[in-house]
Structure 1
Amino acid sequence: MLSASHSRIRIYRSELADTLRLSIPIVIAQLGVILMGVTDNLFVGRLLGAIPLGAAGLANSLSFLMSSIGVGGLAVVAALVAKANSQNDPAAINRLYRAGLRVGVLMSVVLSGLSVLLAFNFSLFGQSAEVTRLARDFMLILSASILPLLVFVGARQLCDGLRQPRVAMAITLSALLLNALFNYVLITGVGPFPELGLMGSATATLLSRLFMAGAMLTYIHRTARFRPYLLSAFRTLPTRSEVETILRLGIPGGLTFFFEVATFSLAVVIVGWLGEDRLAAHQIAINMASVTYMMATGISSAAAIRVGAAVGRRSREDVFRAGLAAFTLSVGFMSLAALLFLTANDWLVSLYIRDNPEVMRIAASLVIMAGFFQLSDGVQVVALGGLRGLSDVNVPTIITLFSYWVVALPLSYVLAFPLRMDAIGVWIGLLTGLTVAAVLLTVRFFQRINRVIPAAASSQPTVRIPD
């Protein structure tokens, strides 16, 4: 019995190590994407003040809301690539790569148009006249950046699915540095660059995303590692079936991501009704929570890839282990994040703004609330990743719709206004919705394992895919 116990410990230690190796580059890449918005807000808050910060935060949130359908929808491609790779099918990988790019371009056209339409109707959100004017112009520039963003996301699915996530990591980190540089020179007008103020920050994001898309495509098509999947013989293979598969799985997956992002974006709107100081404070706290969330989505992506590969091998035990390892890593990381938020909230807020004591006071209290929902946020996003690896997208979409739009948003409004709990009430509502989603999605994942891979089919030995 002791020997069996030691054997099980070694197995799960190996699972954790493999998930961690795959997760870290994805986490850094995901972090880099969200840190572009954080960088925008840091420069805007420090250089331009609270009202431009609130406008930039609102525009970034709503723009990310529009692009979230594409980002979430394309994420399914990596799991499909991992499954095809475990079945040694390079032709299928090529078709998935080309189909993913086509779906990315298609989605970007639709989502950019919706983003522009939203920008011209900003008055619907009931913000102050100055915030509305600044946020509208900011979002129009961000709308143009959705195309390069989704081209980058579509192309990176090939790298991630083939367990080469360091490519996206390196490109994203380079783009993050460029974004910081462009923010400074375009906001302030250094040297020959024009002084664009707040619009300089939006332009910096556009330029950085153009770099990301170009760098990713160049690397894939000029690197020997990907040559076996880009042979000229594959170029004439039809991709209609793969496009339909990505849309069939990706649209519900994108809507799942959309419902969560929309909840937090609409929470920004609700807080904006409470006043400009609350809006700026909320934006600071939600930026911090977004950083840890995007890091958890990296673990979620690793879960989707490893679960998808295990499904390709028809190994139920591998699916279970991959899922459990991802849950363990996410809970551990989010526990550390919660500890940081609860103990260093004042210092974290001071990184964003120093000259507005009221905003700092409110933000510090909201960062504490963000600490409380770290665990729920980490668990629910990893459960979604595991379910994506199982190609289970429809029921999770319903679960997220219920958790966020039936539970979280209405409760946030009731607590903030009728019960007069102010911005804290909004965050209590968000915490409740996240907790409901975490419980329901986790139960769904472990229930689906036996249904997707019956015990009789899970009889072949485990095959470890090397890095």
Structure 2
Amino acid sequence: MNFRIYRPEIADTLRLSVPIVIAQLGVVLMGVTDNLFVGRLLGAVPLGAAGLANSLSFLMSSIGVGGLSVVAALVSKANSQQDTAAVNRLFRAGLRVAVGLSIALGGLSALLAYNFDLFDQSAEVTRLARDFMLILSASLLPLLIFVATRQLADGLRQPRVAMAITLSALVVNALFNYLLIKGVGPFPEMGLMGSATATLLSRLYMAGAMLAYVYGAGRFKRFLSRSLVLQPIRAEAETILRLGIPGGLTFFFEVATFSLAVVIVGWLGEDRLAAHQIAINMASVTYMMATGISSAAAIRVGAAVGSGSREGVRRAGVAAFLLSAVFMSLAALLFLTANNWLVALYIRDNPAVSSIAVTLMSVAGFFQLSDGIQVVALGCLRGLSDVNVPTVITLIAYWGMALPLSYVLAFPLKLDAVGVWIGLLAGLSLAAVLLTWRFFRLNRRIQTSAVERAERA
């Protein structure tokens, strides 16, 4: 490989991905912030309940978040073809789809909360997690509105304000966690529900700030002209759903695997559940940062498809794979060498939970590379509008391998919580191999600018 050729490709991917990475990191750090406050102020059982509710709520939202992520690649393609009207239609269609998905997914999330007994957790975890999840269900609407609005900015290569909004929302979330959990000054003492309310308030802030930015900034005016608003958007909404639902299901299968892994670990005991939540929080941070590189890959691949450059598609993909491999290797090194320090950030005076969490952090270190490669491969395929085969691949890797293997290793083979994590490692590795192979196979079949041929491959 000639690195001189790829140097500008890597630099461009890095410039685009860094703000997206920071924004993605900000989203997951809200959950981390919740857990830090809950773990230190309320203890291990509320920490496990909050972690379980967050995981299941994120599972419900994953279809919407993953589905809407196709919009940035479509916007990038339309903009590279200088089709301003198409960009406008995609933006409005994305908002409409976001509202519809938030109603459907929020309702399902609330239904799941009311039937929390199905997960066979302890009585205290069930009670706390149910109420926590109901509040998170209400926050799905502002979350998906933010994600849909962000797609316009990201697709037009303007991700920095979304990054700033997300980071400032972290401050809002931390502030209200502090004020509402214990009750400070005029604020009521809400305990664990104060943490869930802080998440709701921060997401409302994110949606309002992102909409205000897009409609107020001059750089977006030509895409939001009143003359374009009257154009119908049904076709674009159908396209987003046609491409987005399989893409959202791909995201869902992975998130569901980790959410159900939380349930399996919960069967092992409350101390395992709390330890698992600490380790999975740290792994989620690095994963969400890798999704930023994946989003940049989707945007750059989509732009290359729009301009008819087969070589551009390949170079954009390779640059993203290289960046993700380097970053996740560094994360793996951190997890393996600083696991005691990382665990100490979450919980104190509980040696049993800390010991288990340190062991799980070590296993998490080994699956960092697989996790980063598979999510970037998904982004590259999204840029090619290839969504159906990746959905099948993730279904096989996560539900066909990871979950059954996790259960077998944890219970019949008595490897406890470590067995669950080894199963996750196996599923992620299989997905990384198959999805990467799929991208390079499709790239070889692309003939000039005919993206439709890639879809039929």
TM-score by length of 2: 0.98
Within 2, Cα distance between the matches of 1:261 and 1:223? 35
The answer (yes or no) to whether the contact 2:306–2:449 under 8 Å persists in 1 is no
Q: Which amino acid aligns with 1:45?
A: G
Within 1, Cα distance between the matches of 2:143 and 2:314? 33
Within 2, Cα distance between the matches of 1:227 and 1:176? 29
Aligned to 1:329: 323
Aligned to 2:18: 24
Per-residue deviation, 1:167: 1.5
- Give matches, 1:212-223, under 5 Å: 212-223=206-217
Aligned to 2:419: 425
- Give matches, 1:158-169, under 5 Å: 158-169=152-163
Aligned to 2:405: 411
SS at match of 1:400: helix
Within 2, Cα distance between the matches of 1:217 and 1:448? 36
The 1:358/1:107 distance shift into structure 2, 3 A limit, reads same
Q: Which amino acid aligns with 1:423?
A: A
Q: Which amino acid aligns with 2:195?
A: S
1:284 to 272, 278, 285: 278
1:446 to 426, 440, 451: 440
1:347 to 341, 344, 359: 341
Within 1, Cα distance between the matches of 2:59 and 2:254? 9
SS at match of 2:230: coil
Q: Is residue 67 of structure 1 aligned with residue 84 of structure 2?
A: no
Per-residue deviation, 1:442: 0.2
Q: Which amino acid aligns with 2:346?
A: Y
Q: Is residue 397 of structure 1 aligned with residue 387 of structure 2?
A: no
Per-residue deviation, 1:449: 1.3
% identical aligned pairs? 79
- Give matches, 1:293-312, under 5 Å: 293-312=287-306
Within 1, Cα distance between the matches of 2:106 and 2:84? 33
Within 2, Cα distance between the matches of 1:222 and 1:299? 28
Aligned to 1:377: 371
Aligned to 2:30: 36
Q: Is residue 150 of structure 1 aligned with residue 128 of structure 2?
A: no
Aligned to 1:464: none
SS at match of 2:181: helix
Within 1, Cα distance between the matches of 2:64 and 2:449? 37
Q: Is residue 207 of structure 1 aligned with residue 205 of structure 2?
A: no
Aligned to 2:455: none
Within 1, Cα distance between the matches of 2:348 and 2:367? 26
Within 1, Cα distance between the matches of 2:68 and 2:349? 41
Per-residue deviation, 1:178: 0.5
Per-residue deviation, 1:186: 0.5
Deviation track 1:61-86 (CA, whole Å, cap 9, x = no partner) reads 00000000000000000000000010
Size of the alignment, in residue pairs? Answer: 451
The answer (yes or no) to whether the contact 2:308–2:448 under 8 Å persists in 1 is no
Within 2, Cα distance between the matches of 1:86 and 1:457? 15
Per-residue deviation, 1:457: 6.6
Within 1, Cα distance between the matches of 2:368 and 2:217? 39
Q: Which amino acid aligns with 2:193?
A: M
The 1:350/1:447 distance shift into structure 2, 3 A limit, reads same
Q: Which amino acid aligns with 2:406?
A: S
Q: Is residue 435 of structure 1 aligned with residue 422 of structure 2?
A: no
Q: Which amino acid aligns with 2:285?
A: V
SS at match of 1:273: helix
Deviation track 1:348-399 (CA, whole Å, cap 9, x = no partner) reads 0000001100000000000000000000000000000000000000000000
Q: Which amino acid aligns with 1:443?
A: W
Per-residue deviation, 1:109: 0.3
Q: Which amino acid aligns with 1:128?
A: S
Q: Which amino acid aligns with 1:90?
A: T
1:139 to 133, 139, 149: 133
Per-residue deviation, 1:455: 5.1
Aligned to 2:183: 189
Of 8-17 and 33-42, deviating more is: 8-17
Within 2, Cα distance between the matches of 1:349 and 1:336? 18
Per-residue deviation, 1:188: 1.1
Within 2, Cα distance between the matches of 1:63 and 1:402? 23
Runs of 4+ in 1 over 2 A off after TM superposition: 8-11, 455-458
Per-residue deviation, 1:133: 0.1
Aligned to 1:93: 87
The answer (yes or no) to whether the contact 2:307–2:449 under 8 Å persists in 1 is no
Per-residue deviation, 1:106: 0.4
Per-residue deviation, 1:10: 3.0
The 1:457/1:141 distance shift into structure 2, 3 A limit, reads closer
Q: Which amino acid aligns with 1:103?
A: V
Within 2, Cα distance between the matches of 1:300 and 1:206? 27
Q: Which amino acid aligns with 1:404?
A: Y
The answer (yes or no) to whether the contact 2:102–2:140 under 8 Å persists in 1 is yes
Within 2, Cα distance between the matches of 1:370 and 1:417? 20
Within 1, Cα distance between the matches of 2:149 and 2:16? 18
Aligned to 2:105: 111
Aligned to 1:235: 229
Per-residue deviation, 1:185: 0.3
The answer (yes or no) to whether the contact 2:57–2:137 under 8 Å persists in 1 is yes
Q: Is residue 10 of structure 1 aligned with residue 4 of structure 2?
A: yes
- Give matches, 1:256-275, under 5 Å: 256-275=250-269
Per-residue deviation, 1:456: 8.6
